[in-house]
Amino acid sequence: MFGTLNNYLSSVHRAWTNGDGDTLASYISLKDKHIMNRNLYVEMPENAINRLLESPIDEIICAHLKVLFYLGLEPRDFMQAYKHQSQCIQSVVKMLQQLKEENWCLPVMYTACLDLRILAQRCEELGNSSKPGEILEKAADCLMSCFRVCAADNRSSDNETKRLGMLHLVNQLFKVYFRINKLHLCKPLIRAIDSSAFKEMFPLPERITYKYFVGRKAMFDSDYKSADEFLSFAFKHCPKNFPRNKRLILIYLVPVKMLLGFLPKKYILERYDVLQFHELAEALKEGNVRKFDDVIQRHEIFFIKCGIYLLVEKLKFIVYRNLFKKVYLIKQTHQLDLNAFSSALQFVGETDMTIDETHCIVANLIFEGKIKGYISHSHNKLVVSKQNPFPPLNTVS
């Protein structure tokens, strides 16, 4: 593609002059086919560029060609490529500031920011940083410089404002912050989007990605109702021809739903290859502690890899709640001997559970609102409410 360096630069000049953001973005993308052209692997392209291109596009293209040069070496020098991609972002910021009341250049920013994040990730994987996450954190600072310019663009009309590019940048930043485990840095970004007048105008794919990350953050903050709302939106609107993405959403949505008392349908779990949750749901429904522990142990690697092990562990109290509800339905009385609960726990595999530990589990369930009642220690009884002693989980979580 392009043949010579001059042909490439002429095409860039044409796209720049025409204000063709999408075409220009493809010319600086590391996923475009032009990167296979070895005539563009130039270590010092300044002279050729200065003859054909004006500022600030000249600096962007110069940095891009240097990235191609370092990625074309044997072995590839990802660290130098990353450094020049960072310079590319600085030039993109300059471009955003120069092109006042215009937003046709946003695709150029999107492409440069995406490539920066991917190169930073590659450098991290290769161990190029002195401490884990350092390069990604610096990449996030570069992305934030673009975000600030877009967020401050208050004078342009709604169609021409750069604020329409905010959500794309927020999603890129989320991907960095989740990877380096700095979720607290997401808060100001969420506030900025939630208060934006354009939050319903952003493209649907960007809103789906945003809801997915905000849902995951709510999940880690133990705000399960919000997590359910956001992840459900992401799952519902994610197109069917992206099964991998739908599966990813489902991995977090299912345990959140289960914590709220909704058990997943087997055919959905089968379709997206997450049948681990079906076994979990069966143990939950039965109030079978032994079965629950077996499922957790068998699929431990899957739960840890997905980052939901601790969340799934929280489901154990729902297993206890469902088991104790069965005891209540059998006894048909609102004054329940706690020894009956101890016997039930031993029956489902908790053979070394003491009466004190049983008291502790019941007390926790009362505290969390999963059982309405109180413990009479003098009589060793659980006295439950005559009305709805085991309220629906979605009303208490």
For 47-63, the pLDDT digits (tens) are 888 888 888 899 999 99
Q: What is the mean pLDDT of residues 274-292?
A: 90
pLDDT greater than 70 at residue 1 = no
The mean of the pLDDT values for the chain is 90
pLDDT at residue 245, as a whole number = 94
**Cβ atoms 167, 143 nearer than 8 A:** no
Q: What is the mean pLDDT of residues 169-188?
A: 94
* 286 confidence band (pLDDT: 50, 70, 90): confident
pLDDT tens digits along 327-354: 888 888 888 888 888 888 888 877 777 8
Euclidean distance between CA atoms 109 and 217, whole angstroms:
26
Q: What is the mean pLDDT of residues 260-281?
A: 91
The amino acid at residue 253 is L
pLDDT at residue 358, as a whole number = 86
* 376 confidence band (pLDDT: 50, 70, 90): confident
pLDDT tens digits along 63-97: 999 999 999 989 999 999 999 999 999 999 999 99
Helices (H), 103-223: 106-125, 134-151, 166-179, 186-194, 204-220
pLDDT tens digits along 14-35: 999 999 999 999 999 999 999 9
Pick the CATH number of 289-395 from 1.10.760.10, 3.60.15.10, 3.40.50.2000, 1.10.10.10: 1.10.10.10
Cα 306 to its chain centre, rounded Å, is: 11
Q: Where are the domains of the chain?
A: 1-192, 203-268, 289-395
* 357 confidence band (pLDDT: 50, 70, 90): confident
pLDDT tens digits along 109-156: 999 999 999 999 999 998 877 788 899 999 999 999 999 999 998 877
pLDDT greater than 70 at residue 397 = no
pLDDT tens digits along 197-235: 888 889 999 999 999 999 999 999 999 999 999 999 999
Q: What is the mean pLDDT of residues 242-247?
A: 93
Q: What is the pTM of this model?
A: 0.89
Euclidean distance between CA atoms 320 and 393, whole angstroms:
13
Concatenating the DSSP letter of every residue in 226-250 gives: HHHHHHHHHHHHS-TT-HHHHHHHH
Paired strand residues for 337: 381
